Amino acid sequence: MEYTTSQETKILLKINGIYSFALFLGGIFLQVFLFTLGGFRALVEYNLVSAGSLLIFYFLSGWILTRVRSKNLLLFGISAYILLFSLLFLFREQSLSLLAVLGAIHGMATGIFWGVMNLLHYVFITQEARHRFFGRQSFLFSITGGVAPILGGMLISLMGFLVSKEFGYSFVFFLVAVLMALVYHQATKLPEQKVIDFSLHDMTKHRRSHIWKSVLLQDFFAGMFDAMFPAFSAVIIFLIVKEEFVLGFVNAAGAIIAACAGLSAGIILAKKQTSFIVASFIAAFGIGLFAWQQNWWGLIALTFLFNAAMPVIGVASSKTFFDVMDRLGRDWQKKYYLFLEREIALGLGRVSSLLLFLLAVSDRNQLEIARIAIGLLAFVPLCIGFFLMRIMRVMRIDT
């Protein structure tokens, strides 16, 4: 494995920081924007197409990376983000007629971007530095998630007062496209890497150990969560607070809490690896209260409990995944099929949860089904914690 340098680490953190600021600036408001245009059904259809496209392009990235260097593919993925938000800026309310196209572009951008970034994280970040790096990354994601939603909400509210809210949403999408151009500039500074050695035969022939099956099951549940919860919670919070600026403020408050938790998560887990168990119960409790009390009291519980606990689970999950990959003892160029298997597990979780919602929803019960879905997702942090515990126990026994 190649070892990280301070310069490479800084570039990766800059890319992640600007990228997360851009998506937090436009991400939650994109979900609300689509909801205002077509309700929960439009929101789910967009995310379902996106989840399917993500899985397809992550899968294709394995073959592409055997012929194209990782930096070039990363630049293509970032360009797709620029295209997505440029189209949203240009078409505004007519975006509903392009729902499938926009979802496909978003899935392509996300699948390619994270396919390459996960590989670069594995290549450049050593095992000893993972707690520290992912803790810093979690802090960056959280602090940008604190500032960006307030800025986005202020801009939409201000533009709504001066022109119209539709123009405000469009202007925010334009700013996201500009920020993605800055991400592109930072990515050009990454060093060139060798092409990978990928074959679909690697994925079909290898025997999956119990520990690897636990990783895949954990990611299946994580996929169910990350496809539905961010979109549904953003809309339900908006229905509670009723103003984009207040929505941004609430997300900012949660992000500040998550930033503090993310900054300390690496330190906490380095001292006591099983801290994620307590965090999984806290996160589940926060989501459960929000599902039960969809008012300001439930919102406060979600903001404080969920955001304080999830960074600990996220850092533990990221490090554990890479630690399990280390055990295979092969060169990093030959391990991409493991990233692909993980993404298939995540993708199946995303697609299955969204399909179940579409089967259950009708024009009359959209909000009620969304609330029930949030309540069921409260069990996901517990499932992730359970599989993390199984993985760590096996690793301790084997060593």
Indicate the average pLDDT of the chain: 82
Q: What is the pLDDT of residue 397?
A: 56
Confidence of residue 242 (pLDDT cuts 50, 70, 90): confident
Domain regions of the chain by residue span: 6-189+205-398
With contact defined as beta carbons under 8 Å apart, do 202 and 337 qualify? yes
Query: Which range, 174-188, 252-266, 280-294, is most confident?
Result: 174-188
Q: Residue type at 224?
A: M
Q: Which residue has the higher pLDDT, 300 or 392?
A: 300
| Distance spanning both ends of the chain, measured CA to CA | 21
69-104 as b/e: b if 16+ CB within 10 A: bbbebbbbbbebbbbbbbbbbebbeebbeebeebbb
Q: What is the pLDDT of residue 106?
A: 94
Calpha distance 156→178 (Å, rounded) = 17
pLDDT in tens, 165-199: 888 899 999 999 999 999 999 999 888 766 666 66
Calpha distance 195→72 (Å, rounded) = 11
Q: Which residue has the higher pLDDT, 65 or 22?
A: 22
Q: What is the pLDDT of residue 143?
A: 79
pTM of this structure: 0.76
Please give the CATH topology (third level) of the domain spanning 6-189+205-398.
Growth Hormone; Chain: A; (1.20.1250)
Q: What percent of the chain has pLDDT over 70?
A: 89
C-alpha pair distances (Å), 35 with each of 28, 105, 163, 170: 11, 19, 21, 15
Q: Under 8 Å CB-to-CB from 37, ≥6 apart: which residues?
A: 93, 95, 96
Q: What is the pLDDT of residue 88?
A: 93
Q: Under 8 Å CB-to-CB from 354, ≥6 apart: which residues?
A: 44, 47, 48, 51, 227, 228
Tokens standing for 235? Answer: 């809309």
With contact defined as beta carbons under 8 Å apart, do 217 and 342 qualify? no
pLDDT in tens, 328-381: 656 655 667 777 888 888 888 888 888 888 777 666 777 788 888 888 888 989
- Average pLDDT of 9-13? 84
